Amino acid sequence: MTTDGAIELFLGAIIAWFQLAGPMLLAALVVGLVVGVLQAATQVNEASVSFLTKLVAVGITVMALGPWSARQIVEYTSRTIASISDVVQ
């Protein structure tokens, strides 16, 4: 295995991770900021409100992007399995 092949596999894994985790983390971030501002404005500092809204937002994001995420991970896995012959040589 060459160094270029290892770097390519590593970069592919990082890109796949960003594509899969990015939308969920972004949804949790946006909802957390909005809820934080609303809690600060109303002085209601209940941790369960923030947690529950972020959980719902991430759940909705997973349901909305589920098929796309599944295609992305299947494509990444197919590419990685196809490159096993290059790694073994």
The proportion of the chain whose per-residue pLDDT surpasses 90, expressed as a percent, equals 45
Per the document, the length of the chain is 89
pLDDT for the residue 43 = 85
pTM metric for this prediction? 0.74
pLDDT-based confidence at residue 34 (cuts at 50, 70, 90): very high
**pLDDT above 80 (res 40):** yes
Give how far the C-alpha of residue 2 lies from the chain's centroid of Cα atoms, to the nearest Å.
29
**pLDDT above 70 (res 1):** no
Q: HSE (CB half, 13 Å, CA atoms) of 36?
A: 7
pLDDT tens for 54-74 read 999 999 999 999 999 999 899
Domain count, the chain: 1
Mean pLDDT, rounded, for 25-39: 92
Mean pLDDT, rounded, for 2-18: 84
pLDDT for the residue 9 = 82
Q: Which long-range contacts (CB under 8 A, 24 or more apart) does 5-9 make?
A: 5/83, 5/86, 5/87, 9/80, 9/83, 9/87
Domain that holds residue 12: 3-88
